[in-house]
Amino acid sequence: MKKRIAIFASGSGSNAQKIMEHFKRSADAEVVLVLTNNPQAYVLQRADNFEIPSHIFSRHEFYETDEVIGLLKNLQVDIIVLAGFLWLAPKSLLNAFPNKIINLHPALLPKYGGKGMYGDNVHKAILAAGEEESGITIHFVNAEFDEGEIIHQSKFKIEPGDTLEMVKFKGQQLEHQHFPKVIEGLLKKMRS
């Protein structure tokens, strides 16, 4: 039986796309649902392109009901992937899927994590601090922003003169390269 992946995203969904591409031909796992809190999110179009069902939810539905959890349970989801999802996971979701929710953060945690640290905010802070390297962190999700156990980190050098766009691009290259493989590795561990 294939392992079942659900992806949460709030925006464009470039990482969601790479994950959908990666598992499209997999004999071991498949993306069964894409969820978003943003009805305008481009990730909905990406899901549609792969003929993967999607679900849009409200803040009320996510935090004050068990509708999203019920949907995930009905689909027998094995792992939840946060790919550019901007809301904190509620305790009810964490309890329903212990050690089965992972997130990608566009910096080397524990630095540059926490509330408000996402997307360009992270890269701007890294450049403002004059860091010589940055990278990505894939980690388990817990009740705090960006504080769960680290699963994987990859680094890149920040060259003098690198712009925000260049730093973002270098990070995205690592995200697209490693995120699907790390998910695959975790699913293999679940099987054994």
* CATH code for residues 3-191: 3.40.50.170
Contact 154, 135 (CB under 8 A): yes
Phi first, then psi, for residue 36 (nearest 5°) are -150, 155
Question: What is the reported pLDDT for 190?
Answer: 86
Per-residue pLDDT tens for 45-70?
999 999 999 999 999 999 999 999 99
Annotated binding-site ranges? 13-15, 103
Handedness of CA 168, 35, 6, 92 (dihedral sign): positive
Please give the annotated binding residues for (6R)-10-formyltetrahydrofolate, written as ranges: 103
pLDDT digits (tens, 9 = 90+) for 129-148: 999 999 999 999 999 999 99
Q: Using CA atoms, how far apart are residues 87 and 59, in angstroms rounded to an integer?
A: 9
Strands 3-8 and 79-82: parallel
Q: Residue 31 above 80 pLDDT?
A: yes
Q: Where are the domains of the chain?
A: 3-191
Percent of the chain with pLDDT over 70: 99
Q: Which amino acid makes up residue 93?
A: L
* Helix 119-128 × helix 164-191 angle, to 10°: 120
Catalytic positions are: 105
